[in-house]
Structure 1
Amino acid sequence: MSTLTIEAHESRSNDPSTHSLESFTQSAIKCLSWTLGTILFGLAMVDFYAQTYAHETELALQHAQTKMLELNRDLRMSEINEYIAGTPSVVTRPADNHTQMCKKMKQYTWNGFFKDYSISVYVGLGEDPSIDFVHGPGEMIKDLPTHTLGKAL
């Protein structure tokens, strides 16, 4: 014969504080997870837009430079603002040793949360200098062919 043990209703734990504490803990963990996930997603989007603006600006400047060369004209600094995406910070520096024909470099920087993205625009001399070379965030200057004389097409 088998014996069945039947618990009386009064002996079971019906303490509502135990169930509500477990429920509250699970809800708090879910809420915290969603909040942290949303914050991380927002920060990743800030970086994504910074990278996108830098890349779009680089491509737009190179395309405009190519169009102007087809017309036998130079792209000038006065014409550059319409090609800048977003609101980068701008720093003017002397040109480095890799470009002998350029005298100044304007560095446009878009700040992301995790990383900053920059393009360098090398310009000549004069009142309204021409843009000689655009160096984007993904390319290395030493990898460019030397026969372009500072022009990237």
Structure 2
Amino acid sequence: MTATGETRPEAASVRREFALERYRYILQQINAVNENAHRFLALYQTLATALATGAVALFVGYRKWDIPAATARGGVLGLLTLTTVVAAFTCTLIVVGVLSWLDYRNEECDITDELIGPGFRERPRPGNFVRWYETYVLLFILVSVIAMWLLAGLLLLPAMR
């Protein structure tokens, strides 16, 4: 038996193997987080397109369908509100993904610092957010929601009298 605090060669080998498996897992998670942002954008685009199409269809057809203008306006506002909720949900998922990515990258740096040496992998800097595609996905979602509300407020709703 060895005294407490001593490291046996077998224990060091097991520790390195475990660290390697953890490192592989972290890299898989980082990849999954990166792919999820694309999935979330596709989800938003699909739902926003469907809801905006519904709002435009309601605007175009409400007279033909004998729907009162006030009801049609309420429907358009409801569809835009649903689009905004979908956008907020998508943005929340993307922000959580970014936070997870930062956590995984820091854990990756911890492992490489311990096993290879300090500074092998540079830690992520949140100040580099202008280089992250998630930033531009969030901007796209924000701009598209603002554009939908502006178009509805300036063109659709005033014409539904």
TM-score strictly above 0.5: no
Scaled by the length of structure 1, the TM-score of the pair is 0.44
Scaled by the length of structure 2, the TM-score of the pair is 0.43
Higher fraction of helix: 2
